[in-house]
Structure formats: structure tokens, C-alpha cells
Amino acid sequence: MATRRVYVIWTHPLFHESVRLLLNHPDVEWLGATADHVAARIQITSLQPDIIIMEEREDGGVLAEVLEILEASSSDVRVFQLSLAGNELSVYHCERQTMGQAEDLLHLILTC
């Protein structure tokens, strides 16, 4: 199984810490994380992750940011948008799923 290189964009520290714990797996390489969307675009362009996990903002608006990230990335990156409020996960370039368990995120990252 190939190692997945992951970058996280978060709003709440609990989201960041929880995702970090969930992705503690030998086949996941944690590239970095930030709450600053401008810094995230710069780091993503430099690091070229396979997967970007974004915490859905309370106002629900991240689609424009996702498109900017996808356009700035030269690799075949997948963007996962997580909503902890509704157990929802949107995957850009893959599919949309509702997660039932925390481990579903790790499974999706390793198999997507």
C-alpha cells in the first residue's frame, strides 16, 4: 500500500488534534497543518500532498478555497472537506460520503 501524504487546514484546535490522532498510521505521512488559508496555499504548492483535509467552516463556505487549492496544485490532489457537526465528508475528485465512525476517515484516505 502506498503512503498517503496528508496536509490539514483547520479552524478549531480540537479538529486539528483529532485528525492528527486518527491519522497516526504507518501509511500516512503528516506533511503539516495550519489554520491560515493563505499560508496553506503556499505550503500545499510547495509540499504537493496527495490529500488535503479541510475543516468545514461554520458559514459553510469553502468551495472557492477548495477550487483555488486544486488550481494551485500541480499534482493529483484530493480534497476532503469534513463537517463534524453532521458527520459529513465531501471528497473532491472522489465521492461524497457520510461517515459513521471515526475510523472511516483513515480507511478512506488509505483506499482513495
Confidence of residue 2 (pLDDT cuts 50, 70, 90): confident
Residues 22-38 have a mean pLDDT of: 92
Q: Where are the alpha helices (DSSP H) in 2-102?
A: 13-22, 37-47, 63-72
pLDDT digits (tens, 9 = 90+) for 41-83: 889 888 989 899 988 776 655 666 666 777 666 667 888 888 7
pLDDT at 76: 76
pLDDT at 5 over 80: yes
pLDDT at 1: 64
Q: Using alpha carbons, list the distances in angstroms from residue 5 to 28, 50, 60, 105.
A: 6, 5, 26, 14
pLDDT at 88: 62
Total-model pTM: 0.73
> Closest Cα partner for 82 from 107, 112, 62?
62
